Structure 1
Amino acid sequence: DIMEVDETWTYTATYEATQADIDNGSDIVHTASVTTTEVTTAVTDDATTTITQSPTLTIVNTVAPTDIAAPQTLTYTIVVDNTGNTSLTNVAVVDPQATTGPAYVSGDSNSNDIMEVDETWTYTATYEATQADIDNGSDIVHTASVTTTEVTTAVTDDATTTITQSPTLTIVNTVAPTDIAAPQTLTYTIVVDNTGNTSLTNVAVVDPQA
């Protein structure tokens, strides 16, 4: 075990880089040192491994039902997946149009409020579709978004419910009396019923003989 002149000795060592190292993001710098009986001041050299962080995530927003013809509750399921290589903190899921939520449902495997790599978190939200929505007739489009401390640009996804309008009505015209033998006033009762699913405007009932 004597290192003779011009000899070169080789050693190996290992270090298990962890998710904590990736999350930290700092270079992993290991300093090796050597001393001998004759060289008492340590001679050192550093070896550096650079950490490349790629914080990314996806969001999928779905709604049920996807088509309505009357006021009812729309339920949104929002699924967020950590597809990057770093843990994500302060996860914020937003749907500004929701009546309730988004509310966290499941996915945080160790309940530490940190979205770890490959974790998928699920949220729900609801929206109360109103008669005004039916009358408007436009699709109800909700945009869910998610940000974290590490992903500051919102990632979004839309969920769409189609409105089916069916504007219909009926008219029933009755007269009294229904039989006459002399001049007199006939009175007509005209009943109009909105039998569709939309409000009706500018209702015009006409009897040109009246």
Structure 2
Amino acid sequence: MRYRLYIDDYPVKRIGDVWTDTAGFAGDQIYVVETRPLIVQRCILMTTDPGDLVLDPTCGSGTTAYVAEQWGRRWITIDTSRVSLALARARLIGSHFPYYLLADSHEGALKESSITGKTDIKEVYGGNIRNGFVYERVPHITLGSIANNAEIDTIWERWQEVLEPLRNAFNSATGQSYEEWEVPRDLTTPPPPRKNRQENQGDTR
């Protein structure tokens, strides 16, 4: 085994041309031909920018308008059915959407600075929605980021103050002289004497 990979180490993955995660119907389906919001969301995010106008000539239950409103797109929907228009209207009026700061604003620049650590604050902002929003970030853990993490030394020093006295007490109680990398992890059986383990290093059984 080369390394241990946890399921939450990479919370994002590359999207290809086969969308296996969009199969099936909408979760809380209220209309007979309602499309899953994830499908419409991916199409809108691939083809439009914040502030663009999205047209849906077959409104249905208003999924396109719902997703467009959520991601800062203007929208126009059309339908001939009063039932579908009533459903779409009720869906939009009764929905709660996440709030994002405009990237082209003083508040957005401060938030971006707190996330990225860059201090690029201007005097005047135009509030242009086409510059996008300050989105949430997903951490990406790599072996390089772990190796170059300056916090490792800080963490090691902090825990050495706790673990070193425990190692000395363990050695005194067992009559051994274990180094920190030699301390046995499994104490269900008495640990073998340190000298015996050194003598048996060439044993391949």
TM-score when scaled to structure 1? 0.18
Higher relative contact order (CA 8 A, sep 6+): 1
Rg larger in structure: 1
> Which structure has more strand as a fraction of its residues?
1
> Which structure has more helix as a fraction of its residues?
2
